[in-house]
Amino acid sequence: MTNKLRYFIGNWKMFGDFGSFKIIHKINQFSRKSKNQSKKKIILCVPNTLIHFFKKKLKSKFISLGVQNCHYHQGYGPFTGSVNASMLKKAGAEFVILGHSENRSEGETNQLIKKKIESALNEELSVIFCIGETLKEKKRAKTFSILKNQIKSSLEKKFNVNKIIFAYEPVWSIGTNKIPKMNELKSTIKFIKNEFKKTFKTKKSPKVLYGGSVNDKNISLFSSISEIDGFLIGGASQSSKKFIDIIKNYYK
Ligand code: 13P
């Protein structure tokens, strides 16, 4: 069993209402009781409509809360339907997911993601920065060049890497029950860490998570790769049992 810090982050996507607090409550209780508490960080990224309510309702917090996107603009402005990083922080968010492929597929570019990252960091939100290749790109053996470009075009040396967690999410593995081959995944995670160090001339290795069809059955496969610093979990994070079982089975 590893002794390194591991992240278990839930991305609820478009899911949940006030009654879903029971899921948060159960996960919080699990975290409170679990051994080795300082070695795992549990974060639930919920819809904007719920963050303030959950924050208020959680009396003692053994988990952290985050959101799933923010506008690039700092301060108020004429952006109908949008919410900025400062508003989300004030509502209770500590983390924000940026660059998720579900938003990239709706038109988010690397340049726009960069502006969002900068604005989130300025508001002292921690960023969960998603990168990953599509199936077409994978088939054309373009995975590494795509990842390299996503990293280079959305980050700057001046960004505080301590506040950025990478999430490698191959687009073809999201919600499909398909996961990468473990040897390929290991080299991709290593590639991301090295690429970041090379591009930004730093010795400090970033945290890199894996996301895509993680469940309580396949988690034991991933636990063999020590380079993976944790997981970004979609569908399975919408059930307290499934989410908790993933964490339990990781440490089995
Ligand atoms: P699934 O775990 O449902 O495949 O989703 C992964 C994801 O997109 C997390 O951000």
pLDDT digits 0-9 by tens, 152-183 = 999 998 999 899 999 999 999 999 999 999 99
DSSP symbol at 163: G
Nearest CA to ligand 1 atom 1: 234
Query: 218 burial class (0-12, 13-18, 19+ CB within 10 angstroms)?
Result: middle
Å from CA of 232 to ligand 1 middle: 7
Å from CA of 219 to ligand 1 middle: 14
pLDDT digits 0-9 by tens, 173-221 = 999 999 999 999 999 999 999 999 999 888 989 999 999 999 999 999 9
Ligand 1 binding pocket (C-beta < 6 A) is 11, 100, 169, 174-175, 211-214, 232-236
pLDDT digits 0-9 by tens, 93-144 = 999 999 999 999 999 999 999 999 999 999 999 999 999 999 999 999 999 9
A 10 A CB-CB count for 145 gives 12
Mean pLDDT of the chain: 96
Dihedral over Cα of 155, 163, 219, 194: its sign: positive
CB 101 within 8 A of CB 132: yes
Angle (deg, nearest 10), helices 240-250 and 21-33: 20
Quote the tokens at residue 49.
């409509």
The residues annotated as belonging to the active site are: 100, 169
Residue 180 to residue 184: CA distance in whole angstroms:
7
Amino acid occupying residue 157: K
Q: Ligand 1: which of 174, 176, 210, 219 to mutate, most ligand atoms within 8 Å of CB? A: 174
Query: 246 burial class (0-12, 13-18, 19+ CB within 10 angstroms)?
Result: buried
- Long-range CB contacts for residues 188-191, cutoff 8 Å, separation at least 24: 188/143, 188/144, 188/147, 189/225, 189/227, 189/228, 190/227, 191/144, 191/147
What is the enclosing helix (H) or strand (E) of 33? helix 21-33
Q: Ligand 1: which of 134, 217, 232, 242 to mutate, most ligand atoms within 8 Å of CB? A: 232
Quote the tokens at residue 249.
């089975």
Q: What is the pTM of this model?
A: 0.97
Å from CA of 75 to ligand 1 middle: 30
* Whether the predicted pLDDT of 5 surpasses 70: yes
Nearest CA to ligand 1 atom 9: 234
